[in-house]
Each structure stands twice: as structure tokens, then as C-alpha cells.
Structure 1
């Protein structure tokens, strides 16, 4: 089975959807956790090519769901069967970030400004590379159902 990339801006719900998919018994990897980033990249997070390629070429009998948003993710799109962009209005994302306790990113004013700027500049690039888009304002179970349908299509 193939790998599905779940991408989107901070606060859109990538980790939440991934946790739901894991609860349903799927193989999942959140690249915000672990040793996925290249330490030689001081400005923007970049995936480590060797680590990601090892993950993506590991065969499995179930789909693999990988979540993350990094500057070099487009280099890997050809290895994913689908690239799913999760999206929500900026106000919704900022509200989620303000109340979440699973990730500290976005708590400072400077980080919120970065999120706003990235939403304006980066999200259109993610949208252009996506094979599917899902609005995460709908119930989590509906979002996860849609991601599962995309994985088996």
C-alpha cells in the first residue's frame, strides 16, 4: 500500500487527524516528532532525505499516513499516492493554536505573525501541490473518513 501525506498550516489539525487514524489502527508518522528534520537547515525545517526515503520505501500491507509541512516536501510528492491538504480559515487555526496544549508553537506574538505570513505565502503552494483538500471545520470523524477514502482510492 502507498503513503499519504497529510499537510497544512499550523493549527489546521494534522496531528489530531493523525491521532484519529492511529486510533483506527493505521500506520502513522508525525514528522513533528522524532528525528525527521535535517539539523544542517538553520532557517526552515527540511526533511532528512535518507530518513524519509527509508520510511516511504518500506513496504506494508496498510496505507501509511505521514503528517508534516516542510520547505522541501515537494521533492517527495512522487513517493506519495496522495497529498492531502487540510485547511481551515486563519481565525479558526489561530483559535486552535491558542487553546492547544500538545504543541507550544504559535503561542508567542512572533510565532503567530509567522503563521499568518506562512498562511498567505505558503498555503497557496501547498494547495497547488495537493491532490485532495479537506476542510477541517467538519467533525474529526468525517475528516478521518475522507482521508481513509483517499488512501484506498
Structure 2
């Protein structure tokens, strides 16, 4: 969900030594009939790699559920609507949500998509808590603590 702090949390987890992958970065997503979808072979290859530390994969796409069985945890980062909208209004690193149509899409996603994500999640973390608390909660989940 846009504005919940995914990028910020991912950056902090990387600083703590976890492997982090943002599937919003180029190469992870293909658009099929107007819908952004994970390139499943690429994500599967990532998950198949041997590793010596946890990997945290960030993304929200319609076909992510196809790989839920491959993840040790599926974490929904969430925040109250007012917090999300304030973050979107004030952020300077990402212009998404500034245009009226994008803001309407975010509102629709909060109403229609977040409940679906919540239903598929194994953990829910409220990102309106202080950032160090949020990062620690996600890190504990990633490390299986």
C-alpha cells in the first residue's frame, strides 16, 4: 500500500544486514493487460538461491499470492488512512499520489485491496508506530524470532 513506509522500512532493514529486494525496482515487474505483475520466474529464482541471512521482498502486485507458499512470512505494513494520506502529501522522494487520479487510486486501494492483503498476511505491522519499533518488529519476523 502506498504511503505505509515500505521503502523506509526496507532501507532500514538493509542497514541491519538483511538482504532486501524491492520489486518496484526495474526488472521485477511486467505489465500484462495494464496490470503490473511479478515476473514469477525471476522471483522464484531469487527464492531458490542459497542464503546465509534472511531476505525481505517488498512488493504489492496481483499475482504475489502465487508465491505465498514460498515465504516464511507475509507481512502487511499498514497505517491509518489519515497517516497514509499525510505521508503522501508530505513526502519528497516519491511523487506518486500527488495527482488527483493517483490519490483516488490510493483511496480505492485502501478500501478494496488492503483487506485482501490483510487476509493473506501472516503478520500485520502498524507503521504509525515509531520507525525503530516498526523496523524491529519486521526484523524479528524476518529472523524468525
Q: Which category of TM-score, normalised to the shorter sequence, fits these structures?
A: over 0.9
Q: Does 1:20 align with 2:12?
A: yes
The aligned counterpart of 2:119 is 128
**Separation in structure 2 between the aligned mates of residue 75 and residue 51 of structure 1, nearest angstrom:** 13
| 1:127 counterpart SS class | helix
The alignment yields a C-alpha RMSD, in angstroms, of 1.0
Asked which structure has the greater RCO (Cα within 8 Å, sep 6+), the reply is 1
Q: Structure 2: which 5+ runs fail to align?
A: none
**Separation in structure 2 between the aligned mates of residue 43 and residue 56 of structure 1, nearest angstrom:** 26
- Equivalent residues, number: 144
The list of structure 1 runs, each at least 4 consecutive aligned residues, that deviate by more than 3 angstroms after superposition, is none
Match of 1:100 among 91, 108, 113: 91
Q: Does 1:138 align with 2:114?
A: no
Deviations 1:69-115 (A, max 9, x none): 11111111011100000100111111111121222211100000001
How much has 1:137 moved relative to structure 2? 0.7
Q: Structure 1: which 5+ runs fail to align?
A: 1-8
Q: Does 1:64 align with 2:63?
A: no
**Separation in structure 2 between the aligned mates of residue 56 and residue 98 of structure 1, nearest angstrom:** 35
